Amino acid sequence: MANKKYQVNMNNHEKFLKEAIRLAKENVKTCQGGPFGAVVVKDDKVISTGVNKVTGTNDPTAHAEVVAIREACKKLGSFQLDDCIIYASCEPCPMCLGAIYWARPKMIVFAASNGDAAKAGFDDSFIYKEIPLSIDKRSIQTINIKTENYNAPFEEWIKFENKVDY
């Protein structure tokens, strides 16, 4: 992955970040989820927006960033967010950060920190601490069973000629 640093246009960053914050604030009274918003921008144009919809849609993965990424990819017809910037009202949680890495935008800009979120009752520091642990040390019991055919899907993938890498 490129480690290129992009020029920072603070005026544009503030403009799009404020839109993510506005969406986050507006989302509270809709009762569809928490106070989080995100905006995906490409070439200074908004491609998609997202708000947290966890409780309203019974979807624990419907965080603002995930919602915005899924919508942006649909609009762009790609599973990659090349040259896009993700603006988030709050620092991404590990799930969203993982989703962002898979989507590969060029930049992430966020406003509130995880610490600010924790003060409002949203504490993802627990998940940040769990992810680097070995499976025997994690709080959700995790077991690895090597069934005799555990590698069959990968063997099938390796020999399949029409695969689309991602």
Q: Which of 12, 46, 108, 123 binds its own copies (CB under 8 A)?
A: 108
Q: Which of 11, 43, 45, 144 binds its own copies (CB under 8 A)?
A: 144
Would you give the distance in Å from CA 72 to the centre of its chain? 12
Q: How many residues bind to its own copies according to rule CB under 8 A?
A: 101
Q: Which of 14, 19, 26, 65 is catalytic?
A: 65
Q: In whole angstroms, what is the distance from residue 152 CA to residue 34 CA?
A: 41
Q: State which of positions 25-44 bind its own copies (CB under 8 A).
A: 25, 27-29, 31, 33-37
Report the candidate in 55, 58, 57, 63 with the shortest Cα–Cα distance to residue 110: 63
Q: Which of 9, 82, 98, 125 binds its own copies (CB under 8 A)?
A: 98
Using the minimum distance from each CB to its own copies, give the nearer residue, 24 or 39. Answer: 24
Q: Return the C-alpha torsion angle 18, 19, 25, 29, nearest 10.
A: 170
Binding mask 114-133 for its own copies (x = CB under 8 A): --xx-xxx----xxx-xxx-
- The structure tokens listed for 157 are 């993938």
26 a catalytic residue: no
Q: State which of positions 73-92 bind its own copies (CB under 8 A).
A: 73-74, 76-81, 89-91
Supply the minimum distance, in Å, between the C-beta of residue 27 and its own copies: 8
Supply the minimum distance, in Å, between the C-beta of residue 36 and its own copies: 7
Within 8 A by CB and 6+ apart from 48, the residues are 39, 40, 68, 69, 71, 72, 74, 75
Binding of its own copies by 11 (CB under 8 A): no
Report the candidate in 22, 81, 26, 25 with the shortest Cα–Cα distance to residue 48: 81
